[in-house]
DNA sequence: CCACTGCATGCCTTGACGGTTATATGCCTG
DNA sequence: CAGGCATATAACCGTCAAGGCATGCAGTGG
């Protein structure tokens, strides 16, 4: 599963949104999300296997934090599409031309 | 369904990858993808309803092209995470510090 | 060593989604 | 107006993933 598919899941996006602010333990995330602990753990596993988060063991707790790699990949994937709006004026002109045709 | 979820689908990403180069008719996409026409049409419907593509009627054909809006939104969503690697050196230092602790 | 805590895993159900075949719709041609 | 082409929609099936509960397991404190 690539980063994009993993992050398509709303709950997982909520998780990374929380982790963006600060690293968290599983219990803290369970509190933030209002979901069962197993459900959260399963999402964390998916995020881990995608390399989006890493866990650090601290006593019986696991402290989860974000990893930049997958986000960079996502950014790289998005890059070629960025032309669409950086060349926006030219696109707009073409769009209007097209409308006059049709 | 938001843009991220829509673009998580591999086939749909292939479609937008093709459309990024040039606009296409449905038949052309069917040729490129090697899939049944109904399958392609369904993906195009999903992409349309997400505002990722628009169709222009031309005789019996529909010419599909990309729209920049959803990609901009995606870029905006990604923006706050970009801090992670723009401040990459500071992050790296903190990471190493942490490892020394654990 | 025992009970508890924090988290992971297994099993199950359910709902959503992708693909296929068959069919409908709209347009264009003869 | 009949027939064919390009596309959309319908009906159906198989798969898969998300969520719940119950349970397993490692580390901790008494």
Contact A71, A13 (CB under 8 A): no
Query: Which of B4, B78, B81 lies nearest to residue A8, judging by beta carbons?
Result: B4
Tokens of A8: 């398509």
| B32 CA, C6 C1': Å apart | 51
pLDDT confidence bin for A96, thresholds 50/70/90: low
* Confidence label for A76 from pLDDT (cuts 50, 70 and 90): very high
Q: Tell which wins on pLDDT, B31 or B88.
A: B31
Contact A72 B85 (CB under 8 A): yes
Between A and B, how many CB-CB pairs are < 8 A?
59
The predicted model scores a pTM of 0.84
pLDDT in tens, B8-17: 999 999 999 9
pLDDT digits (tens, 9 = 90+) for A12-57: 999 999 999 999 999 999 999 999 999 999 999 999 999 999 999 9
Protein residue minimizing CA–C1' distance to C10 = A38
CB atoms within 10 A of CB B78: 16
Q: What is the DSSP letter of A68?
A: S
What is the rounded CA–CA span in Å between residue A68 and residue A50? 12
Q: Looking at the predicted structure, is the pLDDT value of residue B95 above 80? A: no
Q: Give, in Å, how far the C1' of D20 lies from the CA of B95.
A: 36
Q: How confident is the model at residue A102 (pLDDT cuts 50, 70, 90)?
A: very low
The pLDDT value given to residue A67: 96
pLDDT of B58 strictly over 70: yes
pLDDT > 70: percent of chain B: 84
Half-sphere exposure of A101 (CA within 13 A, CB side): 9
Of the candidates A56, A57, A71, the beta carbon closest to that of B81 is on A71
Residue B59, CA: closest nucleotide via C1'?
C27
Q: What is the pLDDT of residues A41-53, one digit of tens each?
A: 999 999 999 999 9
């Amino acid at each position: 599963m690539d980063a994009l598919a993993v992050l398509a899941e709303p709950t997982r996006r909520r998780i990374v949104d929380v982790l963006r602010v600060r690293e968290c333990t599983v219990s803290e995330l369970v509190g933030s999300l209002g979901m069962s602990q197993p459900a959260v753990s399963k999402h964390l596993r998916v995020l881990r296997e995608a390399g989006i988060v890493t866990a650090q063991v601290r006593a019986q707790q696991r402290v989860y934090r974000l990893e930049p790699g997958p986000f960079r990949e996502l950014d790289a994937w998005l890059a070629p599409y960025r032309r669409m709006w950086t060349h926006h004026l030219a696109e707009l002109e073409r769009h209007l031309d097209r409308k006059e045709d049709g």
